[in-house]
Amino acid sequence: MEDLTLPKFLKVKDKASGKEMYCPININQRKFKSALKYKAEDTDVFVCSYPKTGTTWLMNIVWLILHDGTEVPGPYRESIPMLEFDGSEAPESIRNREFPCIIKTHFPYKFVQINPKAKYLYITRNPKDAFVSFYFHIRGCGKKYGTENPDINKLYDQYMKGEVQFDCYFDHLNEWYSHRNDSNVLFLLYEDMKQDPRNGILKVAKFLGEKYEELLMKENGKLMEKVLELSSFEHMKSRTIWEYPKRPANEPFIRKGVIGDWKNHLSAEQADGLDRALMEHGKESGISKLWDKYAEFL
C-alpha cells in the first residue's frame, strides 16, 4: 500500500545539459528544461532562494519598489513568473519595457545563466525555520507531493539527504553565498529583514538603482511607508493572490513569518541535526556563522 505520509519528489534530468534536480511530482518537464536555457535581459531582476526562506516577501518588496507602491495583481505568477515552473517563454510573454521584468526562481546558482548586467537578489533563512516552513508548505498542497498527511519525521529525513525539491538546502546556500560579493548579487538574511524591515527595504532599493532609493525617500519617505505597510505580514496575509488554488483554508500560505517557530515543531534531535549540518557544510564557506547574532532565537 502506498505511504501517503511520505511526500513524493521527482528527479528530473535535462539530457542536453546533464543537470538534474528533485522537483514536485506534477512538474511540467518541458517548461523546466526550457527554463535552463533562459538568457536574462540586462534589465531583468531575479528573486532567488531555496524554498520557504522569504521568497514571496522579498518578491513583493521588489515589486512595490519598482512599481512605485502599486501592488502586484493576482494571481501573482501572471506578473512574476517562476522560471522553473513557467518556463523560459513566461518572462517574454509578460515583459513590459516600462518596468524591469521580475523573475522568481529556486534554481541553484549553477542552473542560472547569469547575465552580468541583470540583478540577482538572494534571500536565505536559518535552516530550522526554513524546514518547518517547508513542512507546512507540503501540508498545504499535498497533492503536488502525493501526500495527504505528511509525516514531519519522514520529511526531515528526506530534507537532510537533500532528496526534496531543489535538492540540498546547504549546497544551495553555499553556492549562492560564494557569489555574495558579485556586483550584481544582493545577499540577504530573512532574519535581518524581519528585525529591521525599513533598513532591509532601503538596502533592496539601493541595489535596484539609485533612482529607486531616491524615490523611496522622496517626500519624507512617503513611498517607504507605503512599501512597509503593503509588505507587512498582516497585509500580505490578507491577500489571496499567493495561494495554491486548492490549498485548504486551515493551511494558509502566509502562515506565521516569525523567527524561532521551529521550537514548536522540531525535536531536540532534529534541531541538533540541522545545526550540525550547517556547521559541517559551512566550515570553509562561513555560512555556519550567518546566524550567530540571532543565537537568542535559534
**Structural domain boundaries of the chain?**
9-294
DSSP symbol at 259? S
Asked if 120 and 46 touch (Cβ cutoff 8 Å), the reply is yes
Asked if 253 and 140 touch (Cβ cutoff 8 Å), the reply is yes
Give the full edge-to-edge strand order of the sheet including 102-105: 102-105, 45-49, 119-124, 185-189
DSSP symbol at 82? B
Asked if 47 and 105 touch (Cβ cutoff 8 Å), the reply is yes
Written out in words, the top-level CATH class of the domain with range 9-294 is alpha beta
Asked if 290 and 125 touch (Cβ cutoff 8 Å), the reply is no
Q: Any idea which of 92-96, 217-221, 265-269 has the lowest mean pLDDT?
A: 92-96
Cell (9 digits) for 204: 533592496
- The predicted pLDDT at position 257 comes to 80
In this prediction, residues 84-102 reach a mean pLDDT of 89
What percentage of the chain exceeds 70 in pLDDT?
95
Give the torsion sign (CA, 61, 231, 49, 51): negative
Cell (9 digits) for 122: 538572494
Cell (9 digits) for 211: 533612482
- What gap in Å lies between CA 88 and CA 297, rounded to an integer? 40
Q: Is the pLDDT of residue 95 over 90?
A: no
Cell (9 digits) for 244: 495554491
Q: How confident is the model at residue 250 (pLDDT cuts 50, 70, 90)?
A: low
Q: How confident is the model at residue 275 (pLDDT cuts 50, 70, 90)?
A: very high
In this prediction, residues 113-141 reach a mean pLDDT of 95
- What gap in Å lies between CA 173 and CA 124, rounded to an integer? 7
Cell (9 digits) for 73: 495583481
Rounded to a whole number, what is the distance in angstroms from the first to the last CA of the chain? 39
- The predicted pLDDT at position 164 comes to 97
Q: How confident is the model at residue 242 (pLDDT cuts 50, 70, 90)?
A: low
- The predicted pLDDT at position 254 comes to 62
- The predicted pLDDT at position 20 comes to 94
- The predicted pLDDT at position 244 comes to 60
Biggest CA–CA distance in the chain, Å, is 64
- What gap in Å lies between CA 56 and CA 49, rounded to an integer? 10
Q: What is the mean pLDDT of the chain?
A: 92
- The predicted pLDDT at position 90 comes to 92
- Per the annotation, the verdict on 179 as an active-site residue is no
- The predicted pLDDT at position 1 comes to 66
- What gap in Å lies between CA 171 and CA 173, rounded to an integer? 5
In this prediction, residues 55-59 reach a mean pLDDT of 95
From the candidates 67, 106, 137, 172, which is the catalytic residue? 106
pLDDT in tens, 134-190: 999 998 888 889 887 899 999 999 999 999 999 999 999 999 999 999 999 999 999
- For the entire predicted model, the pTM comes to 0.95
What percentage of the chain exceeds 90 in pLDDT?
77
DSSP symbol at 106? -
Classified as helix, coil or strand, 23 is strand
Q: Is the pLDDT of residue 252 over 60?
A: no
- The predicted pLDDT at position 248 comes to 62
Three-state SS string across 131-185, please?
HHHHHHHHHHCHHHHCCCCCCHHHHHHHHHHCCCCCCCHHHHHHHHHCCCCCCCE
Residues 6+ apart with CB under 8 A from 211: none
